Structure 1
């Protein structure tokens, strides 16, 4: 899912920022007041941050390389050196593992980061701020690597051990559940995130909530939420398009068209698919072909819709079914040369013969035959009728005979032959 993939990356980025900000605090935990701790309600007693004096120089150099951000491999190398040192105590090892894991993340090496971060937690020697930030980061990396079960288990552990009321923790939980297709759990987690954020919802939380409602078939809840979001941010294009899409999916084509058309009039529709969505909705509504034609023509005039066979064909159909015959013919004449198949020329020929423009109909039908048709008999039927209407009976018989060679038009052609041969 596209939405889910984007969400993964956003959640991970937020967790890495939190971890990066906390890394440099590892030596500064002694003497901190409880109120300054990021996890004041944690059940875990925060260990004293006490390193081995003989290793202090290497630890500081490792921190400096990491925080400078230019030599992550260098930071990892010093971390490995510290881990191999028999003098290293649990705290030294935990700090080295934390830095190595975050440095690996800094060079996008997620599989390499995981064992470092896991071992940092296993040492159980980091101060609470670093310990739980590492837990948050590791849960995010698990999610990034499609290890949803491990991620959710670690987030639940984080919540249990910290009594967390951090909305970002619940937002991460929601994102992992969403990516795992667990939509009921997503809804519960998003609601918690909103509750702990003083009732305010970030845009991506709302999008997850709306998408989860939609996935569960709770269209009414999804639409209601989408309407709230759109009312709150009427100039946000993404929110508007989401609401229009939900209207269309739930059979409210009139609302979808009205919303998109209002956006068009405001100049908010700037992409090809925006115009295509609007004219497609109009074409699926009774009696709205003229509106579809206006949208297509505007899209062409603005250069937003491509001037290709597909666009001109939809324009021609919209015009034809709104009784704008001459304009429809002109649109088909623009589409036909751009179509590599003969289908558009065939459609044009059929309209022309219905309008008693027989010479033009014959020419279009022959163009269709020249390009190739799966059912060439249909073009021969147009030619035959055109010849007949022009009193060219011999030519009509000859064309009907060609149409009779095609199984798709055989019966129809043979009946016509029998009638004009009497």
Structure 2
């Protein structure tokens, strides 16, 4: 988050736009911190320093830090400059570092500016808050918490933004329950909480496995924005994490009926939910619709998923299509093994041999013995006895297929006709 504009304006408005001498607060201006424990100091600055710092502030705001630097250093090098001028010069230097994404250096300069204790309350408190923000961004989470505690003590107040910042720091230090309590307080203090606050609250619930609370938060948000796909997907994820798969499925099915399932991820998520709920036909129908609408991407994972759910729903033609399209993108032989298996039992033994040969060649098979056994069966079906015998001999070398392979070899040797095995 960019701090320079609002922070500089806040400091400049206190004194630099006024005349030299004592920079008094406008009596008509409302006191932002009526419960502050810090006394508002009297401030003064020479006209020379005022001119230099006014110009430097304008340059920093315009992104011309290099031009501002000599003016700032001139004030810092002047032992006769007031504490107020020194504090503001250090604040400007901090801002230069911050704009250059040098967070560690910015933190040190903010600390120097604050240590002078010379700025009016509004400016001083803004600097303390900016220090906490920068510490959080630099992953100095405990330092940020300490700085925010100091801000609360000096201002005598709390704000929604400040509480949210504190909750963020609690979350980063894995203090999840304090993060939850503090973020809920922040959200209760404003009617326009940031979306990022909800994300931190949600993440904290997740870390503590408080899925019901996370679901209630999301349901409340969905009630206000029922067509928000991001919220729907998050709620579905919460339901799944909380072992409420049926609720997740119902939520996504409803979203589909609302026309909200439109992207690759949407269709894949819904199809997997149907598959997990033992509804492979619905999963297959969802994927077919996604491919038909060109919403699903022609990827290995998507085609393999189609093959898997169609296999589960005993739609062999669909499974063959899915695995067939996944095959050219496969990095191992497992999809080709499934394809070869289905081809063999679809009375397409030559295609089965081709698929199983690719499977064996690509390797990393979970069922290598079965691949040799099945290819031998397909070759035998095609009248290729020598090839079948060679594959059955290889299959006999695997524990999972040793017995079946030896039976086939014995039968073939004895001239007994080997019938096609039943599909498992």
Q: TM-score, normalised by structure 1?
A: 0.88
**In structure 2, what is the Cα distance between the partners aligned to 1:333 and 1:237?**
33
Name the structure 1 match of 2:144.
151
**In structure 1, what is the Cα distance between the partners aligned to 2:47 and 2:322?**
83
1:213 aligns with 2:205: yes
Identify which range, 308-317 or 260-269, moves more after superposition: 260-269
How far the C-alpha of 1:295 sits from its partner, in A, is 2.5
Cα pair 1:165 1:196 within 8 Å, conserved: no
Name the structure 2 match of 1:120.
113
1:357 aligns with 2:345: no
Q: 1:322 to 1:53 in 2, by over 3 A?
A: same
Name the structure 1 match of 2:31.
37
Cα pair 1:23 1:99 within 8 Å, conserved: no
Identify which range, 158-167 or 189-198, moves more after superposition: 189-198
Name the structure 1 match of 2:122.
129
Name the structure 2 match of 1:96.
89
Identify which range, 148-157 or 364-373, moves more after superposition: 364-373
**In structure 1, what is the Cα distance between the partners aligned to 2:9 and 2:168?**
22
Name the structure 2 match of 1:335.
326
Identify which range, 384-393 or 118-127, moves more after superposition: 384-393
Deviations 1:272-317, CA, capped at 9 Å, x for gaps: 333332222222221x112222222233334443213322111011
What is the root-mean-square deviation in Å for CA atoms of aligned residues? 2.4
Q: 1:41 to 1:277 in 2, by over 3 A?
A: same
Aligned residue pairs, count: 407
How far the C-alpha of 1:408 sits from its partner, in A, is 5.1
Deviations 1:83-104, CA, capped at 9 Å, x for gaps: 1101111111011111111222
How far the C-alpha of 1:267 sits from its partner, in A, is 4.3
**In structure 1, what is the Cα distance between the partners aligned to 2:225 and 2:5?**
28
What are the ranges of 5 or more consecutive residues in structure 1 without an aligned counterpart?
1-11
Higher helix share: 1
Name the structure 2 match of 1:249.
241
Q: Kindly report which structure 2 residues correspond to 1:75-114, keeping only aligned pairs within 5 A, or say none.
A: 75-114=68-107
Aligned partner of residue 44 in structure 2, secondary structure? coil
How far the C-alpha of 1:392 sits from its partner, in A, is 6.2
Identify which range, 171-180 or 136-145, moves more after superposition: 171-180
Larger RCO: Structure 1 or Structure 2 (Cα < 8 Å, ≥ 6 residues apart)? 1
Cα pair 1:377 1:408 within 8 Å, conserved: yes
1:187 aligns with 2:180: yes
- Which of 67, 70, 73 is the matching residue for 2:66? 73
Name the structure 2 match of 1:22.
10
Cα pair 1:230 1:243 within 8 Å, conserved: no
How far the C-alpha of 1:121 sits from its partner, in A, is 0.5
Identify which range, 369-378 or 93-102, moves more after superposition: 369-378
**In structure 1, what is the Cα distance between the partners aligned to 2:260 and 2:281?**
21
Cα pair 1:248 1:281 within 8 Å, conserved: no
**In structure 2, what is the Cα distance between the partners aligned to 1:416 and 1:289?**
35
How far the C-alpha of 1:126 sits from its partner, in A, is 0.3
**In structure 1, what is the Cα distance between the partners aligned to 2:312 and 2:304?**
12
1:316 aligns with 2:312: no
Q: Kindly report which structure 2 residues correspond to 1:214-293, keeping only aligned pairs within 5 A, or say none.
A: 214-286=206-278, 288-293=279-284
What are the ranges of 5 or more consecutive residues in structure 2 without an aligned counterpart?
415-424
**In structure 2, what is the Cα distance between the partners aligned to 1:260 and 1:97?**
55
**In structure 1, what is the Cα distance between the partners aligned to 2:5 and 2:57?**
16
Cα pair 1:72 1:104 within 8 Å, conserved: no
Cα pair 2:32 2:122 within 8 Å, conserved: yes
**In structure 1, what is the Cα distance between the partners aligned to 2:213 and 2:186?**
18
**In structure 1, what is the Cα distance between the partners aligned to 2:178 and 2:370?**
56
- Which of 22, 40, 43 is the matching residue for 1:46? 40
Name the structure 1 match of 2:287.
296
1:383 aligns with 2:375: yes
Name the structure 2 match of 1:7.
none
Cα pair 2:337 2:356 within 8 Å, conserved: yes
- Which of 360, 366, 369 is the matching residue for 1:369? 360
Identify which range, 347-356 or 399-408, moves more after superposition: 399-408
Identify which range, 238-247 or 364-373, moves more after superposition: 364-373
